[in-house]
Amino acid sequence: MASSSDYDVVIVGAGPAGLMLALWLARLKIRTKIVDKRSVKVLAGQADGVQCRTLEVAHSFGFVQRLIEEGAHINEICNWTPAADGGLERTKRMPDNEPGTSRFPHVVLTQGRIERFLLDAMRDFNGLGVDRAVAPTNMTVDPALLTDFSPSSYPVTLKLRHLSEDEATPTQVGIANGLHRSNVLSDDEADAMHGTREGGAYALAGEEETVRAKFVVGADGARSWVRKQLGLSLEGESANSLWGVLDAVVVTDFPDIRLKSSVQSHGAGSILVVPRENDLVRFYVQMGSTDPNGERFDRSSISPESIVETAQRIFQPFKLDIKHIDWWTLYEVGQRMSPQVTLDNRVFLAGDAFHTHSPKAGQGMNTSMMDSFSLGWKIAHVVQGKASPAILETYGLERLKVARELLDFDYKLSRMFAGKPITSDGKPVSHEEFKKFYESIGKWASGTAVAYLPNMLVAPEREPRLAPGLPHGQRFESHAVVALADARPWHLADRFLSDGRWRLVLFAGDVREPQQRDKLEQAAAYLDSSAGPLRTFTPADDDLDSVIEVLTVISDPRTSVEPNAFPDVLWPPKKPYGSRSYDKLYADDSSPVTPNDRGEIYKHLGIDAKTGCVVLVRPDQVVALVCSLDDIGDIGSFLSQFMVPQQQ
Ligand SMILES: Cc1cc2nc3c(=O)[nH]c(=O)nc-3n(C[C@H](O)[C@H](O)[C@H](O)COP(=O)(O)OP(=O)(O)OC[C@H]3O[C@@H](n4cnc5c(N)ncnc54)[C@H](O)[C@@H]3O)c2cc1C
Ligand SMILES: *[C@@H]1O[C@H](CO)[C@@H](O)[C@H](O)[C@H]1NC(C)=O
Ligand SMILES: *[C@@H]1O[C@H](CO)[C@@H](O)[C@H](O)[C@H]1NC(C)=O
């Protein structure tokens, strides 16, 4: 029996990475404790901005609308460069993302609000909240239990100390009173006032508590305590760059203040402008760098005034009048990463705990949340006995690759933005090169191009490709379809909720053709058979779609087939009444409400409209395997390499 101090997962750190993981685990009802040494969450400043891919994930947890409504939207980017007359000229205007990159926009909103949405969603799923003013002091892993995955085995022991108010109050460089600085975030302001008292955080100050866990995740930021316990450190060679970051309300005659714009001046350096919610604008100004083994930059020489002055010099001849400063900081970062994210698959690192980079790449919060999005369901599968612990290996394989790419990207970007941009061979960067580079980064920055290499959870690519638009290892690219039963238009990925289920999408092709119809029926018979993956991997008492959900998309017109014509397993009866799952059947067609707007999913993904294909999608929306309807048995063989049969 688990005692009250035994947890499946203990998360150290409640920033974006820790909260995203806690949200996954709350959603999947995994016994979780999340602690943070700070007494309140971030209220103003720090990271802002969430890329399209992060919004897709927010959708899958049900809180995307809050982001879309509160955030500022980045739809266009502009570049300004020095003009011949000594002024500045707009040399480029382009969409922030290529049209069709994602069904969601790129949104910017302060980190504090994003954390708020994550916290609310966690609480709504199963009442999970953060234990604040708590930090670990000792962590031990029992080697004898490392490979014991039985329910009563808790190999990691953590000592947690409850902190006093002094220890738990965050200090941020340059901010006199970090907590009360923002005057635009009303309900979070209330957190600041009451957060510390909520649950009597300091009642236990000084006390120690011992907890046991199956898994511990260090999402405790760049100076990670957990990482140190593992004996790992962040490695990298480049200098730290020092950024002045300022959130302000301004009056200006610069025309692109509500667009994301980069401004490169004649000799005063460059600046990145990001429009924000509530009339705020964020300015990123590179203030200098520290050499890797040399002295630290003299921070005292930098103040909000000096950041403003630098910005004003860069903006000339435009006027920049700063009316209100909401938040500012000096943010010092280098491009560094830990060579590993775990030593024994019991203690993991996520987010800044294993990679740091400059804010110019604007990926810290995104990547951190996506680290945990990749990890959460895997841990849950193992805890729930659905999958072999071997799948945990894939976390490091997948996310270390992303971190490496991120650092590389950031390194190039930082060079481009440095006071006097130089290329890797030391030559000055021409404005042409600057522009070209900026254009090339869009897709990468949107997060939609992240690609995992083949591993246990990503099958090697097969030739010929039956769905060229769905490469193995990338997130499923969504297009609009229409539901057969109620004629409602959907984006197919709107159906891929983060509920821990795998999805098997049957692109059934043209089922008016008798031969194709036969193929679909054979595929359905396999799925319904006791040897098929649905019955093999689903516990006997659960609905047949509770581990793998099958969705069917035909290429025919919506009205050419009645829903009743499909085999039962494709729209299974639900417990307890046997009502039918009408929401599993779709067509590549327009709907009565969007008559001129067919999603053309077959065409966009390059799938043959007659013969179709089968796509297996992981619980994190990553494409695992594409095969033909004839080869549907390969889905079962693939899954049986790591899924645990449930003896139906
Ligand atoms: C002052 C500051 C300014 C920043 N400015 C920008 C910016 O302008 N633009 C940008 O893109 N990014 C910025 N960032 C980075 C961005 O906030 C991070 O990339 C992002 O938050 C990473 O998320 P994370 O969850 O991995 O780590 P974090 O957000 O750092 O979260 C770590 C959490 O762990 C807690 N913690 C740490 N150690 C312990 C411990 N021993 N015990 C318990 N809890 C612990 C911390 O209190 C914190 O809540 C800034 C970060 C900081 C700190
Ligand atoms: C952590 O706890 C273990 C077991 O109680 C103990 O042996 C070890 O010395 C402690 N480590 C530290 C750094 O206090
Ligand atoms: C997330 O990604 C977007 C798109 O690149 C970027 O603009 C934003 O600043 C990023 N946010 C953070 C804090 O990483």
Active site residue 359: yes
Q: Which of 109, 115, 360, 363 to mutate to test the pocket of ligand 3 (most atoms within 8 A of CB)?
A: 363
pLDDT in the model for residue 196: 39
Q: Identify the residues whose C-beta falls under 6 Å from ligand 2.
A: 138, 140
Choice among 73-87, 319-333, 425-439, 563-577 with the minimum mean pLDDT: 425-439
pLDDT in the model for residue 187: 42
Cα angle for residues 340, 346, 349 (degrees, 5° grid): 40
H/E segment holding residue 588? none
pLDDT at position 190 over 60: no
pLDDT in the model for residue 364: 67
Residue nearest to ligand 3 atom 6, measured at CA: 362
Q: Identify the residues whose C-beta falls under 6 Å from ligand 1.
A: 12-18, 35-38, 46-47, 111, 135-136, 172, 219-221, 225, 245, 329, 331, 351-353, 359, 362, 364-365, 368
Task: Write down the pTM of the prediction.
Answer: 0.91
Give mean pLDDT, residues 605-631: 98
pLDDT at position 89 over 70: yes
pLDDT at position 533 over 50: yes
pLDDT at position 247 over 50: yes
Class of domain 3-72+101-234+337-407: alpha beta
pLDDT at position 627 over 80: yes
pLDDT in the model for residue 455: 98
Active site residue 48: yes
Instruction: Tell me how crowded residue 565 is: count the other CB atoms within 10 A of its CB.
Output: 11
pLDDT in the model for residue 635: 98
How does pLDDT run across 136-187, given as a tens digit for each residue?
999 999 999 999 999 999 999 999 999 987 777 765 433 433 333 333 333 4
pLDDT at position 292 over 60: no
Give mean pLDDT, residues 1-11: 85
pLDDT at position 262 over 70: yes
pLDDT at position 238 over 80: no
How does pLDDT run across 493-516, given as a tens digit for each residue?
999 999 999 999 999 999 999 999
Active site residue 452: no
pLDDT in the model for residue 535: 95
| Residue 39 vs residue 33, higher pLDDT | 33
What's the CATH superfamily of 480-639? Phenol hydroxylase, C-terminal dimerisation domain (3.40.30.20)
pLDDT at position 440 over 80: no
Active site residue 576: no
Q: Which ligand is nearest to the CA of 139?
A: 2
pLDDT at position 453 over 60: yes
| Residue 594 vs residue 134, higher pLDDT | 134
Give mean pLDDT, residues 205-215: 93
Q: Is the dihedral of CA 377, 379, 384, 387 positive or negative?
A: positive
pLDDT in the model for residue 146: 95
Question: How much helix, strand and coil, in percent to the nearest 5, is found in the chain?
Answer: 35, 25, 40
pLDDT in the model for residue 301: 74
Residues above pLDDT 70, as percent of the chain: 85
CA 138 / ligand 2 centre spacing (Å): 6
pLDDT at position 25 over 80: yes
> In angstroms, rounded to a whole number, what is the distance separating the alpha carbons of residues 114 and 41?
11
Q: For all residues of the chain together, what is the average pLDDT? A: 88
Active-site choice (284, 331, 452, 602)? 284
Measure CA of the first residue to CA of the last residue in the chain; give whole Å.
Answer: 26
pLDDT at position 236 over 90: no
CA 255 / ligand 1 centre spacing (Å): 33
Query: Quick one: pLDDT band at residue 63, thresholds 50, 70, 90?
Result: very high
Residue nearest to ligand 3 atom 3, measured at CA: 51
- Strand pairing report for 579-580 and 573-574: antiparallel
pLDDT at position 354 over 80: yes
Give mean pLDDT, residues 210-231: 96
Residue appearing with tokens 């680290």: 371
> In angstroms, rounded to a whole number, what is the distance separating the alpha carbons of residues 363 and 403?
10
CA 158 / ligand 2 centre spacing (Å): 10
Domain assignments of the chain as residue spans, ordered by start: 3-72+101-234+337-407, 480-639
pLDDT in the model for residue 129: 95
Active-site choice (103, 276, 346, 503)? 276
Among 205, 109, 89, 210, residue whose Cα is nearest residue 156: 210
Distances from the Cα of 370 to the Cα of 366, 504, 625, angstroms: 6, 23, 21
pLDDT in the model for residue 327: 87
> In angstroms, rounded to a whole number, what is the distance separating the alpha carbons of residues 333 and 223?
12
